[in-house]
Amino acid sequence: MQNLKMVIRYDGTRYSGWQKQGNTENTIQGKLESAISRIAGQAVEVHGSGRTDAGVHAMGQVANVKLKTAVDPAEFRRKLNDLLSEDIAVTEICEVPERFHARLSAVRKTYQYRLYIGDAKPVFDRRQVTVLEPLPSLNIEAMRRAAEYLRGIHDFTSFCGNPSFKKSAVRRIDSLEIIEEADELVIRVTGDGFLQNMVRIITGTLIEVGKGAMRPEEIRDILAAKNRKNAGPTAPAKGLMLVGVEYTPS
């Protein structure tokens, strides 16, 4: 049995998210499993590091798949990319120990959210940025102060989009930066794991702070409330990208 680790990038615009679903074949996981099965001549299950939602993109999604017959990783990657559509690419494949699991072995993930604040249409990046309309004058320093309250270990129930989530919502955010880049604001967050819609809800809440609808200090009360209704709106999917996943060196 050969265990292969893959690094994948994709434009999630036209897909129903990462996870394979019974009512559609239009998922990233589904497309990968179909292509790998054709090449390997066997049914396979691809395990991703996380489930990106419909419309969310990835620069560094990580997945693993186990094959009964060993293959050459470089040749396998070439064949796989030949079969995949132009908006999905496998950038790396390597053999890893059998115990490696893309989700269970992950120790940190980094996401970024791109907000367009320029005065012209983002023609070329329109599928990967969220335009703030009407374009406000955001108080970026207030957003940064609010971000400080989110760093560290907290119960992020208020920032979870799944109302029926029953497991622990405690997560650790190691860094949360708000970066000004020309006509964009980039919110970049690294942590040990993320709840459903968590980064998008954090983004929506920070935007509310930037607009003056919330004070930075209210983040403490939002966390303590453990109630989704207390946080800001969920930012649209298209601005979000999974940048990378980290693992403990083997």
As annotated, the active-site residues are 53
Distance of CA 57 to the CA centre of its chain: 7
Count Cα atoms within 13 angstroms, Cβ side, for 39.
Answer: 22
Per-residue exposure over 162-174, b if at least 16 CB sit within 10 Å of its own CB, e if not: eeeeeeebebebe
* Helix/strand/coil (H/E/C) assignment for every residue in 107-173: EEEEEEEEEECCCCCCCCCCCCCEECCCCCCCCHHHHHHHHHHHCEEEECHHHCCCCCCCCCCEEEE
153 backbone φψ class: left, alpha, beta (φ>0; ψ -120 to 50) = beta
CB 154 within 8 A of CB 227: no
